[in-house]
Each structure stands twice: as structure tokens, then as C-alpha cells.
């Protein structure tokens, strides 16, 4: 007769059977999340995966949960990968999940549409909430990843269009668990400190899972309530996120966001020159019109009254003409002074104006050096002066 086994022995035996089954050591299961609970202390996720016929208990440890690119919640259809084993204490088999993704774009798209409609009904995307962009910003905030290609694209556009503008970077993850919170912190930082005149929220293209952090409700609310206007440039032209709807302006790409943030300085100089020429022409036309009108009045007075009266009126008209001439001349001088001041201000914003005063731009590997921390002994640097450039080696 077989001996009686202890409960713990049976559970241990069954656990070993499951653990050494190759088919169960790495398995993918698709199901709907139910009864999701996050342990307040450890951060482990406990939930059930179910379909219309059955259910299986599942656990995901905090170290794996931190890598999730999605925000798991009840009712979401997912595909989970992991192993099947037995929890010996309770004698219950369960699914130990290592990774998890939304099961197709459909589930995520459903969440996206549901949140968009909810916030739209609240009026969060209303046009009257959009803040106007500054015409000539002196500082531009950038919220993105330090390693993102989008960051270099934005910096290149800013330096080309308006070299005097100062970029201020708030580094943030742009995908994965915790990315939405970091992006929100960047928006709230610039809104609170006012260290930028306009903020760019940017990242390159990707799948709906890659861009999911930009569909976060709390991030959308932070963008809409920001004291500083936010330009959203996320993904490619066909990509739309919740952040795009909440932003003051939506740009199709990160580079386009930078172009919207700052004007092209050479274009602005041309506009000033054109306005100056038009103003001078208008003043000259008005002066000629007044001269002709005065001539007609003089001729009419001479014809109707003649004699001394005409002479007196001619003197008065001469005096009036001189007064108008001085007034128009003074107006022309004042407008020219304003135009020259504006042109001077634009010239002062150009880095070449600074270079002519004895300063230089330091470049390393094709990039502008803005801090001594970016240089080390032995580095080769390029010195850009107002009339040329020179090579230098850093000694200390």
C-alpha cells in the first residue's frame, strides 16, 4: 500500500512537474485583465486573465511591471508572456508574467477614443483655452528625452531660424512606465517657474504603444492648464495624441514645432525694410496731395476775391503749407527712428552683432559649446569670429 504524502510534499512535487515542463516555462496567454490589484508595499501586480470560458490567476513582480509600456487596468485585452508554476503554500497554480502588451491596437485605440471624448466634453480642448504664441521668444523650453533624435532636430531648427534664442531642456522619458509622469513634471516645471516663453513637447514617431505616454489624462490636464503656451510635436504627421488636442498648437513633427516656436530672423529683417520703404512712400504721397490741395485753394481765392484779400490769403496758405510740411517731415523722421530702432534690435539679436564686439562662438564636433563642462583638456575646438574662424586646443 502506498504511503500517505504530506500536503507540502504533493505541492512540491506538482510544482516541480510544472517548472520542468518546457511548454509551460515560456508561454504567451491572451486574455482580459480582471480584479487588478497593485500591492501598496512591494508594487507587485496581482490580477486575473480571463476569456469567456475560463480564468487564470496571474502575478507580475514590480521589477517587470516597471518596464510596462501600457497602463494595465480592468477590462483591457492583453497578451502576457511568462511561466506557469504552483504557489506551494496555497496549492494554487498561477501565471508568473514577465512582459505584457495590449492585444492589438484595437484595445488601445478604444481607450484613446474614450479619453478624448471625455476630455472634449469637459471643454479641455476648447479654443478659448489656447494660449497665443509669443512673436519673439527669448527662451524655448523643450520636454523630451536626452537621447531622442527629435531633440537634435529641434535644436538645429532653433539655431538656424533664430540663433539668439536660448533653449532650456527638461529631460524626460518618452515611453514606458513612468514616462507620462515625467512629461507632466516637465510641463508643470515651466508653468511654475516661467523659465521659458514657450514649451515644446516633442518625440519622434513610433507605434501606438510607443506614443502611449502622450495619451495620459493627467498630462493632458497639465498641458491645458499651463501658464506657458505648449506646442505639441509628437510622432509623424499622421500621428495624433491626446497631448496634441490639449496643446496651444499641434505641430505635425518635432522640427515643425520648432519652426512654429521662433520666427525666421532674416525674413523679419526683410519685413522691416519693406515697412520702412512703404511708410516713406506714403508720407511723400500725402505731402504732394496737401501741396496740390493748397494750390487749388489759392487759385480759387485769387479768382473770386482778388487784390489785397488774395495776397493775405496767400500768406496764410503759405504759412499753413509750411506748417503741414514741418508736421509731415517730423512724422517721417519719427517713423524712420522707430524703424531704425527695430532694425537695431533685430541686429542685436543676431550672434554676428555680438561677434563684432570681440566675442566668439566655440564649436566642438559641429555643436555649439554653451558650458565649460562640455570641454576637456586635449579637446579640439573651432572658434567662430565675425570675420572668419580658427582652430584651438583646450589645455585646461
Instruction: Give the dihedral of Cα atoms 230, 235, 238, 244; nearest 10 deg.
Output: -20
CB 78 within 8 A of CB 103: yes
- Cα–Cα nearest to 325, from 366, 294, 357, 368: 294
pLDDT at 301: 59
The answer to whether the beta carbons of residues 335 and 366 sit under 8 Å apart is no
Task: Give the tens place of pLDDT for each residue, 166-194.
Answer: 999 999 999 988 999 999 999 999 999 99
At 349 the pLDDT is: 62
Choose among 72, 7, 70, 8: nearest CA to 38: 72
State the Cα–Cα distance between residues 284 and 280, nearest whole angstrom.
6
The pTM score is 0.49
pLDDT tens digits, residue range 254-263?
Answer: 999 999 999 9
* Residue that is written with C-alpha cell 512629461 in the block: 183
pLDDT at 333: 78
Q: For residue 193, which of 135, 141, 122 has the smallest C-alpha distance? A: 141
Roughly what angle, to the nearest 10 degrees, separates helices 254-261 and 149-161? 30
pLDDT at 313 over 60: yes
User: What is residue 54's predicted lDDT score, i.e. its pLDDT?
Assistant: 92
Find all residues with CB under 8 Å of 55, minimum gap 6, and list them.
Answer: 31, 34, 48, 49
Q: CA-CA distance, 325 to 149, in Å (whole number)? A: 60
What does the pLDDT look like over 63-116, one tens digit per residue? 999 988 777 888 888 899 999 999 888 888 999 999 988 776 666 777 888 899
Cell (9 digits) for 126: 476648447
CA–CA separation, 197 vs 146, rounded Å?
A: 21
Strand pairing class (361-364; 380-385)? antiparallel
Higher pLDDT, 226 or 318: 226
Which of the four pLDDT bands, split at 50, 70 and 90, describes residue 365?
A: confident
Q: Where are the beta strands (DSSP E) in 198-350?
A: 198-203, 230-234, 249-250
Does the pLDDT of residue 42 top 60, yes or no?
Answer: yes
Distance separating alpha carbons of residues 308 and 329, to the nearest angstrom: 31
Confidence of residue 352 (pLDDT cuts 50, 70, 90): low
- Is the pLDDT score of 350 beyond 70? no
Of the candidates 195, 174, 27, the residue with the CA atom closest to the CA atom of residue 98: 27
Amino acid at each position: 500500500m502506498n504511503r500517505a504524502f504530506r500536503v507540502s510534499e504533493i505541492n512540491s512535487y506538482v510544482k516541480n512537474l510544472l517548472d520542468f515542463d518546457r511548454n509551460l516555462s515560456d508561454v504567451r496567454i491572451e486574455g482580459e485583465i480582471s480584479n487588478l490589484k497593485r500591492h501598496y508595499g512591494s508594487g507587485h501586480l496581482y490580477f486575473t486573465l480571463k476569456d469567456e470560458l475560463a480564468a487564470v490567476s496571474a502575478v507580475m513582480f514590480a521589477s517587470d511591471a516597471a518596464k510596462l509600456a501600457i497602463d494595465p487596468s480592468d477590462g483591457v485585452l492583453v497578451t502576457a508572456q511568462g511561466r506557469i508554476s504552483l504557489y506551494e503554500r496555497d496549492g494554487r497554480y498561477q501565471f508568473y508574467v514577465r512582459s505584457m502588451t495590449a492585444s492589438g491596437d484595437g484595445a488601445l485605440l478604444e481607450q484613446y477614443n474614450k479619453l478624448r471624448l471625455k476630455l472634449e466634453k469637459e471643454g479641455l480642448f476648447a479654443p478659448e483655452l489656447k494660449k497665443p504664441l509669443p512673436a519673439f521668444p527669448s527662451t524655448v523650453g523643450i520636454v523630451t528625452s536626452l537621447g531622442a533624435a527629435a531633440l537634435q532636430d529641434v535644436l538645429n531648427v532653433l539655431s538656424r531660424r533664430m540663433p539668439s534664442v536660448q533653449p532650456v531642456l527638461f529631460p524626460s522619458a518618452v515611453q514606458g512606465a513612468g514616462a507620462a509622469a515625467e512629461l507632466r513634471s516637465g510641463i508643470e516645471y515651466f508653468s511654475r517657474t516661467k523659465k521659458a516663453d514657450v514649451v515644446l513637447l516633442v518625440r519622434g514617431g513610433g507605434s501606438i504603444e510607443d506614443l502611449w505616454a502622450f495619451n495620459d489624462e493627467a498630462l493632458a490636464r497639465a498641458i491645458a492648464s499651463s501658464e506657458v503656451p505648449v506646442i505639441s510635436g509628437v510622432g509623424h504627421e499622421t500621428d495624433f495624441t491626446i497631448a496634441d488636442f490639449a496643446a496651444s498648437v499641434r505641430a505635425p513633427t518635432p522640427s515643425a514645432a520648432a519652426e512654429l516656436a521662433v520666427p525666421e530672423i532674416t525674413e523679419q529683417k526683410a519685413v522691416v525694410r519693406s515697412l520702412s520703404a512703404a511708410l516713406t512712400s506714403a508720407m511723400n504721397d500725402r505731402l504732394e496731395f496737401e501741396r496740390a490741395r493748397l494750390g487749388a485753394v489759392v487759385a480759387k481765392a485769387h479768382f473770386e476775391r482778388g487784390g489785397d484779400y488774395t495776397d493775405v490769403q496767400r500768406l496764410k496758405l503759405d504759412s499753413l503749407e509750411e506748417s503741414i510740411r514741418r508736421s509731415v517731415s517730423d512724422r517721417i523722421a519719427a517713423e524712420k527712428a522707430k524703424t531704425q530702432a527695430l532694425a537695431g534690435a533685430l541686429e542685436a539679436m543676431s550672434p554676428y552683432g555680438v561677434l563684432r564686439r570681440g566675442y566668439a562662438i566655440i564649436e566642438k564636433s559641429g555643436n555649439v559649446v554653451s558650458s565649460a563642462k562640455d570641454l576637456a583638456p586635449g579637446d579640439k575646438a573651432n572658434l567662430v569670429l565675425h570675420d572668419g574662424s580658427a582652430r584651438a586646443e583646450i589645455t585646461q
